[in-house]
Every structure is written in C-alpha cells, then in structure tokens.
Structure 1
Amino acid sequence: MELTDLIAPQKYNLISEIDRFDSDRIALLWESEDGEKQSVSYHELIQKGKRFANVLNKLGIKKGDKVMTIVPRIIDAYVIYLGALRAGIAVIPGSEMLRSGDISFRINQGEAKAIITYKDFTEQVDNIQEKMPSLKHKISVAGETDGWLSMDSLMDEVTDSYTTVDTDKDDMAFLTYTSGTSGTPKGVVHTHAWAYAHLRIAPKRWLNIKEGDIVWATAGPGWQKWIWTPFLSILGKGVTGLVYFGRFHPEKQLQLLQDYKVNVLCCTPTEYRLMSKVDHLADYDLSQLHTACSAGEALNRGVIDIFKETFDLQLKDGYGQTESTLLIGTLVGKEVRIGSMGQPILEEFITIIDEDGNQVPAGVVGNIAVRRDFPALFKTYYQQPDRYQAAVIGDYFLTGDRASRDKDNYFWFQGRRDDVIISSGYTIGPAEVEDALLKHEAIKDCAVVASPDAIRGNIVKAFVVLKDGYSENPSLIPQLQKFVKNQTAPYKYPRAIEFVSELPKTVSGKIMRSTLRDLEVRRAAEKQSD
C-alpha cells in the first residue's frame, strides 16, 4: 500500500464514508439484556444523525466546538457521533464508569460546550463542584432528567434535512482521553484524516470484514476502541453491527454469536478466557464465525488452543493504542506464530528502536515505535505539547511498550517501557489510583503496580503504608477499595492491597514501582510452579 493511498483529500469529513451506504440495508442489530430487540437501517441512522446535527446547531454549538458524551451501547450513541461529526463538531468520548472529577477534568481541559449523557449517568455530572466555564448545555439521553434538556424532545423539534459541514482533513474529529504513568489524563487529538487512514487499514488487513458480514465488536462507547470498530470499521464498510446492551456473561456471549450468525468477532482476551471455561463449549454453533480478533492485551496460549480445537477457529492478536489504529497483529493471510504479537500492519511505518532512535537488529529488545508521518497516528496531546514531545525520539513516536522482532518481522512483546497497567483491556495509570488512595485518612504512602492474573492478564495491586495509629487490619481493605471506586472510575480500583512498612525508593525519593512489579511477577511464577 502506498502512502498516498492513506492520505485523505484536503476537504474531507469522515461521515462521507458512511453516507455511501445510505439505503435500507441493516446498519445495527440491537438487543438488550431484557431481550428487547431493535434494528436500524443505514438510511434511518443517517437521517437521525442529521436531526441531531440540527439539534446541536440550534443550541449554538457549531463547527470547531467540542461536546462530551457518556452513553452506553445504545443506538443513540451512534446518532450522537453521526450528528456531531457531520456538523464539524468534535466528540469527547466518556465511559459511564467515570466519576465527577474525571468528567469535570475532561469538560474543562477539552473545553466542551455540551455534555450529552445517558439518563442513568447524569448524577455524576450534577455532583461536580468545580466551575465549568465552557459548558453551556446538558442533554439527557433516553429519558427525562430534571435540569437537563431531553435529546428526544430536541430531536422532535428539528428536521432531518442537513448539509454536511465542509471540514478540512486536519480538523479535529475526536478528543479521547488516555491514562499515563503520572499526572492527569492526556487528550488524544484525532482528525478526520486519521479516520480516512484507519478505514483503509484495520478493517481489511486485520478484522477481515467482508461484504454482507455481521460484525460484533464488544467495546463500549466512551473508548477509542469503540470508535475503531463498532463505529468506523462497521459503518464505514457498510456491514451490519451487532450491539448488546447488557452485562457480560460468557454463556450469553456464545449464545448471541450463535443466534445472530456472527461472522466477525472482536473482543478482549478476558472475554475469550471466560468463554473458554464454559461447560459444553462445543455445543455452541459458531460455524458462521470466520474471524475472531482480540485486542487490549496479549492472548494466552491455552485459550488460543481451546478455540482452535473446539471450533477450528484461530484467534488473532492485535495491538494498537488510543493514539493510533491497529499497529501490529495477526494479519489476514499471514502465518500465525503463537506467542507473537504478529507483524506490523504497515511495516514501513512501525519498527523497534533504541533510546537514540536507531532501529535495532532482529533479536534485540527495544522500543516499539511509529513513524510520526504515519497517517493513522494522532496529531498531538491537546494543550499538552510537552507530553507529546516526551514520547518522541527523532522521527518516531514511542508507544511505551518494548519488544523484539525475528528475522521475518514478527514482534515479540517484552513489557511496558513505563508503569501503565493493562487489566482486562483497560489502560490504567498508577498515579490516578495512588492519588485516590492518598485522599483516605489512613494512608501515609502507597504505590500501585500490575500484578499477574490468570483471567484479567493483570490486576491493579496497591502496596500501602498506613499512618501512625492505624493497624494492618484485613477489614480495612474493602473500605479502601470502596473509597477508590467512589473517587475514580471503578475499573481502576485495586483488586489486591498489601500493607507494608515502607516502599522501595530511589535516593531522590521516587517510588521504584519496577521493584514491586518484579516482585509480583516472581510471586506469580512461584505460585504457578507449586
């Protein structure tokens, strides 16, 4: 593939990719945990998006503005994105697991003009104490909320006639926040041009999406992976997406795969691990499933073997970041090497370098790096250019992960370059959890690291030093866990807490998380050998 094939026209709005499929073909098949079902055609979805574009403009929100949205796996999530992007308005995705402090930070740092929130999540917004000078409107989705505008009512007041705003390829489309090892979350700026490149890479080279497929990508709105696949890779390729609005149960997931005759599945390793443990797994008919992809963290050999033996289905690893699209994976038509991350999706842009920015030979461990002119790489960290520069060496952006490669350019993961924790596909910055713990009256000091886990890959573990007067009582552990859940997104809470008298630190007083992380790896290895 030539570089020119990935570069968008100067005047480009990513909605044009979806408008190509304006017809009666089914865009989304939706089912709730209660068994309620809906289907929506491309034409219906596109027209609803136009209505919402009119809603935003009527409220005074226009091209160049930004809105934040916190909406679960419902059809309105797609409508919000379609409407905002058509109007040239950038979207700030937010998970329903965010807490008031998380939300206010994103609104203020991202200068959002509106917050568009599912009716059941509005309380966290109403509890915000900080001033939010940019915020002009609060819109409640799928129901009425006191003090909020109603999306349904607003949609009834406008037409579905709308001319797509003339956007430049370099205009912002998404502002997605990601965790780092220290400090506040980073706002990742993706332009319309990023979407153009993504659509010409991941759906064909990794997901293997074909005409007429039914595709189920389980990521939820609020995450960049939802933009990658449920939104762009499905609607941008004119196929049908399955959407399930309910809690995860492995048996239910297998039943839906069977009932809807899903052709392409993309979910987390944790979901695959739990499905692999289901009794009578072979009783499920997954014969229509031609591609099964995994992203978020590495797949383990045992799970891969079970799906291969049971369904003759080869699970495909994939590696990418909020800042990019898929970078490395088990690519269509390529040999599978178990344990490998796979190969770069475009080898001329993705390599392994040393600390001086030089490519390293095969077999040498270095930093996974992406050439900065890769069209499917983010533009910058919003209003934080110093954090962008800190991740750059010469012509390369560093992903933060380390690997080696063999003579055939298969990459082999070696670990994080920093302290970011990946658990069940979630990326968690230890500093965020430490900050929450330190607000508790009993905590004097703490350090948070990844601890190996058979199901989740890693869990968040906290090593805690108590203040004088507090005892290392096991009953304090659930109290601390609940406290963290109330301070920040619940998926970040420490599933394990260990009391210690002191933390390992450098002579300058910095916590040596790597020492604690290595300790957890050794303990896991010893436990496995017992």
Structure 2
Amino acid sequence: MPRTSVIRKTASDFRVAPNWVDYAETRNEFSWENARRELAGMPGGGLNMAFEAVDRHVPDKGDCIAFRFLGADADRVITYRELAALTNRFASLLRGLGIGKGDRLFVLSGRIPELYVAVLGSLKNGTVACPLFSAFGPEPIATRMTLGEAKVLVTTEQLYRRKIEKMRGSLPGLQHVLLVQEQGAQAADIPGTLNLARLLAESSDAFDVVPTRPEDMALLHFTSGTTGTPKGAVHVHGAAITHWATGRYALDLHPDDIYWCTADPGWVTGTSYGIIAPLLHGVTSIVDEAEFDADRWYRILQEQKVTVWYTAPTAIRMLMKAGEEVARKYAFPNLRFVASVGEPLNPEAVWWGKEALGLPIHDNWWQTETGGIMIANTPAFDIKPGSMGRPLPGIDAFIVARDEQGQVRIVEEPDTEGELALRRGWPSMFRGYLNNEERYRKSFAGDLYLTGDLAKRDADGYFWFIGRTDDVIKSSGHLIGPFEVESALMEHPAVAEAGVIGKPDETVGEMVKAFVSLKSGYAASESLRMELLGHARKRLGAAVAPKEIDFLPTLPRTRSGKIMRRLLKARELGLPEGDTSTLEGQS
C-alpha cells in the first residue's frame, strides 16, 4: 500500500467504539480526582492497588478469567475469585512470617502464576513488591536486593541454586526465601528456604487488606542501569489511578477484551500493564511463559482471540525479520488494537503492522520514572508514523531549553528540538530514587520533571523522539538524533535492526556510524554495505547519513527492548562496557 506521512483514521477502522474520540474535549474535562472516583477506594480515604485490581471485581466478575497462563506443557486459568483467594493466602503467609507494611519483597522467576500472586499478595499486605528479571546474574541480583533492602525473596528451586545459594551470605537482611517447586519435580529440602506451595496451603484465604494510603510505597522498579549503579524508582499505591486512566485512554481497554502484554514483570511495563492496568479494567490477560518465537506468537494471537496487544519494538522487528509469509499463515479477526513501547518505533514498523496484521502499530512513550504511559498514539486519532503521539488526559508535556544562566524555559515554537518535560502531578510519578534524594531533586526544575529525552513537538501537537541527551551526535555543528538515522536505514528491505552512534573524528567532531542486522534472506557483503550507505545518503543527506556501516548478527539490547547504543560505542572505541546486567543474553 502507498506510504504516506499520516495514517488517517475513519469510522471503519473501529471494531468497537473507542473510549476517547474527542481529543480536546476529553483533555479539558479530565481530572485525576474524577479518575480516582472510578476506583472503589478503602474506608477512611485509603487506596490499595491490589484491592482495586482484584477484590473489587469479585462481586460482579468473580467467575471471569483474570489470567490465562500458557505453559510449555499445559495452560492454567485463574478467575478473579480464585485470584482473590490466592493473593489472600499469600498475604496471610507474609503476615505469619512477620512481614508487614513497608517491608520489601523481591520476586525472581519466569512468567509463572506464583510471580503474579506474590506481587498482588504483597500489595494487599502493604509490602513493597519488586519483580526482577529471571535472567539476571548473581551480581545484579545482589546489587538490587541490597539497595532495596530485601527481606523476602520468591524464586524457583532452579534459580535459587544457580543464582542465590552461593551469595546468600552477602544478603544479611534477607530473612525468608520462598521456593516455587519446579513443575513435575519433587520438593527439595534446601536449608534456609521455605516451600511456597506448602505454606500457601496452610494459610487462610480470609484476609483484611491493609488500609494503605495513596502515598504509601507499593512498587520498586530499578532503571536499566546502563551507566553506573541502577536507580530504584519508588512508586506508590496511588499510581493505580494512572494505570486505570491509561488503560482506558491509551490501551482502549473494554470489559470483554482479551489482552496480551508481552513484557516481563521484571520491566516496569510488565508490572504496570502486564499485571495492574488490565486487572483494574476487569479484562482477561494472556501470559505466555515461553520465550519469543514468531510462529508461537502469531498462533497465540489467533487461537487466544487476542483483541488488544501491547508489545515492544524489538519483538515487532523480530517478527519483521521472520518475514510476512509467516504472518500470512495465521488470521487475527479479533485483533483490534496494537500498541508498542520500550523505545521509539520506526515508521517502517508502523506500516509493517498495517500490511502484516491489518492494523498499524500505535507507539507510545513513558519511562520507569513516570510509572505509566504519558504520550501515545491512540485508536481514534490519526497516526504520524515515527511520532510517539500526543499527551494523554491529565498529562502536560513541553519541550524545554536552558538559557545561558542554566535556567529552564518552555519552548513555544513548534519543530524546535529540546528536552522533553512533564508537569508534575500525575499519580504514578515516581516519588524518589531509593536512598538518592539528590539525584531525585536534579530530575526537576520547578514543577517540571526533566525526562532526559530530546524531542520536538510539531504544529499539530505530536511529539517526536530525537534521542537521549547523551546519545545525540554532534557532527560539523549538526545535532543528529540516532533514531532518525536508524529509521531511515530500516526503510531498506534488507535491514531488520539498526543502531547508530557518534564516533570521534578529528575533523567533524563525531562521525555517524551505524550497525545493522539483516533480515533472513540477506547476507552481509561489501556491495550491500555500499548500497545501504547510498540509501541513507539519499534519504538523509550527506551531513546526517552514516559514513560507516558494520554488520552484526544481532544488536545488543536490554531485556526491556532498548538498543544499547552505549554498549555499541564502548565496543567500537575499546572502552569499559560498564553495567551490562540488563543486557539481553546475560545471566
């Protein structure tokens, strides 16, 4: 189909009426106070994230499916009523162990039911939950658990033996390890651990949810840690208000949706939108316990009749790499909305969705620190491929610059590059970096949260990602955003992924260098390298196009899907790689 700069939406694009159809009117009428009234709340003005996500639905939707877990050997279905009982048992278990409000519980496991029960049960008990990537190695696990002052760890027997047992002595604050029995294996009697299944069976499913306040700490999410020690972003129970609002407006969730978020809860998306937001809306969530496989993913979309799919650019590019012929083996008549987050979505990927899935991919933007989606392309509105969209209701976004005195000012002129900033006040805004108040203060200028992302806003109010402040390339006086170069390279039919860095150069300051991985059916060669250089030069102009291109089998990415340009640059220049604990493939 012809490629245009805008994908226009018409009434025929909507299989159900969108939740948000008038951009200005909804934003003008919206208030966080009214959004909070959509939740039940607790006596005395309290608010508990897990109560809102689970127990609130039991009277009306108790027998509806909350989660369908797709395992390697068998699937498991958990209704809202069953989830309420299981999370009550877990909360009772914690109380029996002397773990209470404000204590920290970490979960280290794959996407298994026990992870979701542990997170929600912790929240009911007022205990702070922190899921970790199961592929972390012992050192990053120890770093995060030490910073987070972990008192309880929920993990599997296998992961405990591989990653925890030998370093247990370095975690003196860790009081309890609750082990999940491996499927089909007999429970092992491992010193210093407790059998989770046994304790749950002995615990009561009657539990009075701890009356937490909106500002009580609920979740602890660690940033990617691409440089220096990872930072622990503190989030509160009141964040549920943002999760509800963004589930409604950004993901367009309706009560009868079958929803699939592919993110692991070890990343903030997997918690905010893989656990909390869909439950707040009473929908059924699909959880795939297996790793990525193109055929499997298409089969899940088809067989599970997924209606709303939230995934990551990395996954989309991997599906693109597998080829459209794989997608054509399946049909997705129920799928009505596809969204993506993790890093900017290249225009080519937006169009690929329309061609391969019958639906464009809707990009959105947020951070660990924001706790929820802030800027998005939503179902009812036109898409500008390559744009992150427009601010959601309750979110005021700006482009800012600093004057000669270092003072921050809002830039009013459209298409001017600067730092993306948000006006503070949304409920899921992080309340601090754990034990790092100074770093937290530096994230704000007055009432503006400074995101560290460079962007621009066009005349229609759409925001466009340029790059992280430390990713931008300075060449011959030009400021070059790597995302723009990467997107141009991905327009070439041979390119599956692209990563761009600035390489020091005596003449121009920094030279643009690109690293690309190829789609199946293409092989690296000097002729293809020259073809790609010419394609980029024609598309971007000589000042912006890369001067060098290297081929890589895959690009280094974090497990949250972000291409690690920092790591590409370190390897190119022979510099220390720094913290690689979140690098995909590390264990």
Sort the TM-score into its range (normalised by shorter chain). 0.7 to 0.9
**Cα distance, 1:326 vs. partner?**
0.7
CA distance in 1 between counterparts of 2:203 and 2:514 reads 52
Residue 69 in structure 1 maps to residue 113 in structure 2: no
Letter in 2 for 1:337: K
Residue 21 in structure 1 maps to residue 57 in structure 2: yes
Aligned to 1:203: 247
Aligned residue among 87, 99, 119 for 1:81: 119
Aligned to 2:365: 319
Aligned residue among 170, 177, 198 for 2:222: 177
Aligned to 1:458: 563
Normalising by structure 1, what TM-score?
0.80
- Per-residue CA deviations over 1:330-384 (Å, capped at 9, x if unaligned) read 0231111112111111375222111232211211111111222222211111110
Whether the 8 Å CA contact 1:7–1:375 is kept in 2: the answer is: no
Aligned to 1:378: 430
Aligned residue among 143, 157, 167 for 1:128: 167
Letter in 1 for 2:50: I
The alpha-carbon distance between structure 1 residues 120 and 380, as it changes in their structure 2 partners (threshold 3 A), is same
SS at match of 1:358: strand
- Per-residue CA deviations over 1:304-340 (Å, capped at 9, x if unaligned) read 2232124321210011111111111102311111121
Aligned to 2:277: 233
Aligned residue among 359, 365, 368 for 2:410: 359
**Cα distance, 1:142 vs. partner?**
3.0
CA distance in 2 between counterparts of 1:450 and 1:401 reads 21
Residue 11 in structure 1 maps to residue 119 in structure 2: no
Normalising by structure 2, what TM-score?
0.72
Aligned residue among 342, 352, 360 for 2:389: 342
Aligned to 2:302: 258
Aligned residue among 238, 242, 256 for 2:286: 242
CA distance in 2 between counterparts of 1:313 and 1:464 reads 38
CA distance in 2 between counterparts of 1:165 and 1:348 reads 30
Whether the 8 Å CA contact 1:70–1:93 is kept in 2: the answer is: yes
- Per-residue CA deviations over 1:427-465 (Å, capped at 9, x if unaligned) read xxx9xxxxxxxxxxxxxxxxxx99654576735323377
Letter in 2 for 1:135: L
- Per-residue CA deviations over 1:162-219 (Å, capped at 9, x if unaligned) read 110111111100011113453211010000011222212x111111111111001011
Residue 410 in structure 1 maps to residue 433 in structure 2: no
Letter in 1 for 2:172: P
Letter in 2 for 1:392: F
Q: Which moved more, 1:267-276 or 1:85-94?
A: 267-276
Letter in 2 for 1:458: I
The alpha-carbon distance between structure 1 residues 336 and 49, as it changes in their structure 2 partners (threshold 3 A), is same
**Cα distance, 1:278 vs. partner?**
4.4
Aligned to 1:95: 133
Runs of 4+ displaced beyond 6 Å: 420-423, 464-467
Aligned to 2:316: 272
Unaligned runs of 5+ in 1: 424-429, 431-448, 468-479, 494-530
Aligned to 1:491: 584
Whether the 8 Å CA contact 2:111–2:289 is kept in 1: the answer is: yes
Aligned to 2:328: 282
Whether the 8 Å CA contact 2:86–2:205 is kept in 1: the answer is: yes
The alpha-carbon distance between structure 1 residues 223 and 311, as it changes in their structure 2 partners (threshold 3 A), is closer
Aligned to 2:453: 401
**Cα distance, 1:103 vs. partner?**
1.5
Aligned to 1:507: none
**Cα distance, 1:406 vs. partner?**
0.9
Letter in 2 for 1:178: T
SS at match of 1:20: helix
CA distance in 1 between counterparts of 2:563 and 2:574 reads 25
Residue 216 in structure 1 maps to residue 255 in structure 2: no
CA distance in 2 between counterparts of 1:409 and 1:158 reads 53
CA distance in 2 between counterparts of 1:264 and 1:293 reads 8
CA distance in 1 between counterparts of 2:377 and 2:513 reads 26
SS at match of 2:409: coil
CA distance in 2 between counterparts of 1:95 and 1:307 reads 28
The alpha-carbon distance between structure 1 residues 392 and 452, as it changes in their structure 2 partners (threshold 3 A), is farther
CA distance in 1 between counterparts of 2:248 and 2:307 reads 14
Aligned to 1:309: 355
Aligned to 1:107: 145
Aligned to 1:330: 377
- Per-residue CA deviations over 1:384-425 (Å, capped at 9, x if unaligned) read 0111122222221111111010111100111111359999xx
CA distance in 1 between counterparts of 2:89 and 2:136 reads 28
* Coordinate RMSD, CA, aligned: 2.8
Identity within the alignment, %: 31
CA distance in 2 between counterparts of 1:168 and 1:391 reads 25
Whether the 8 Å CA contact 1:55–1:158 is kept in 2: the answer is: yes
Aligned to 1:436: none
1:182-193 matches, cutoff 5 A: 182-193=227-238
Q: Which moved more, 1:271-280 or 1:353-362?
A: 271-280
Aligned to 1:50: 88
**Cα distance, 1:489 vs. partner?**
4.6
Aligned to 1:520: none
Unaligned runs of 5+ in 2: 1-29, 473-481, 487-500, 502-511, 518-553, 556-561
**Cα distance, 1:221 vs. partner?**
2.1
> What is the count of residue pairs matched by the alignment?
453
Whether the 8 Å CA contact 1:24–1:43 is kept in 2: the answer is: yes
Whether the 8 Å CA contact 1:328–1:345 is kept in 2: the answer is: yes
Aligned to 1:161: 206
SS at match of 1:359: strand
